[in-house]
Amino acid sequence: MKKLLYLILSVFATLSFMACHRNHEDEPEAPARRTILVYMAAKNSLSGFDSADIGEMLRADIPSDCRLLVFRASRSGDPQLFEVTGGQLKTLKTYPSSTVGADAETLVQVLADSRALVNSLQWGIVFWSHSTGWKGAVKAPSLSRTFGQEAGGYEIELPDLAAALRTVPELEFLFFDSCYMGGVEVAYELRDCAQYLVASPCEVPMTGMPYDETLPCLFNAHTINGLSEAIDINVDYYIDRPNERCPSTMALVDLKMMDQLAAAASAVYADSHELTETPQQLSLNATFCKLFVDFEDFVRLSANSVGDHATLKFALGEAVLYERHTPFMWTSVPLLNMCGLSVNPQPYNPNYSYQNLSWYKDVILP
């Protein structure tokens, strides 16, 4: 009887342990505090730099309660969605070889796949590719990218980029490691897609930012502090490399303040005069230097009302939380007037699809 009782108790204890173990396994995985998706549209002239940057990501210190995902569409191999974990790349999904990274439908699919595969409280996106800010395709597709550039003339127009990002709940931040995305038109178009935007109003060096140093900042629970620190690291990285002739200009924008900035800008556009001086130019490219100038400098030189200019400067200070830049652009043009955001000084130019932008419809036309 004692042996039977002992057997029964032993079996009961074993079953209880198995039940507890099974229930533990069935419990949903605790959500990550923050997940960052690096979106790499690399079927272009940047192919090769993507491998170097992924190498940096593998060396980055990722907090244990956070996740790092990478979507990579390059010239070699099928596009894939990876997770960087333990210094290794773990493949989460492989896409058909025909998949184009610089395509809004692909972005929507990758965003959906990422959400389905990873449970996370917060999300941030780093965009990696070529880009031309608000500038849409027109007569010279090779010079018109908006965001992304891939063989065949593929790109994501700014309104389509915003629409794709709206398919998921609001993001914590958008970080562009690509050229010219630090424009007031871009920030206004994306104002309901994320809380914060980090971007450059100028060109970005082909080598991009040092991911092993900046990624830990992007996981900082104090988002503003972390994004500001990432800007400092990026700018300091290129200040120490003058032989690369690289500018580095970046700004942190509170997208929730863009409506206030738009209201102030609308008053300026309603009472302004044609420019008689050239605002701070933000490009040496023959086309882009006419399309991207410093926003505050443009307002200073075009506003008729001192009060309107002052109101805009205040709203700009509320929207741009942090800005840093190297002293020169390509070692030849001093960056003297830098507010952190660019603007198109020729808003009525019919080229480049400017009239399709929300900034034009909501701010300039009224």
Given CATH 3.40.109.10, say whether it is the number of domain 34-256. no
Give the β-pairing of 147-150 and 154-156.
antiparallel
Q: What is the value of pTM for the model shown?
A: 0.89
Domain ranges within the chain, ordered by starting residue? 34-256, 261-319+343-364
Residue 10: predicted pLDDT? 44
Give the angle 60-61-64 at the CA atoms, nearest 5°: 135
- Helix/strand/coil for 168: coil
DSSP 42: E
Return the residue matching tokens 């002239």.
45
| Contact present, 197 and 187 (Cβ < 8 Å) | yes
Residue 158: predicted pLDDT? 93
**Would you state the structure tokens that stand for residue 171, as one six-digit string?**
């993001």
The rounded average pLDDT for each run of 10 residues, N- to C-terminus, in the chain (366 residues) is 39 42 59 97 78 94 97 90 96 94 94 98 95 72 53 77 97 96 97 98 88 98 98 87 66 98 97 93 89 96 96 98 88 88 92 90 92
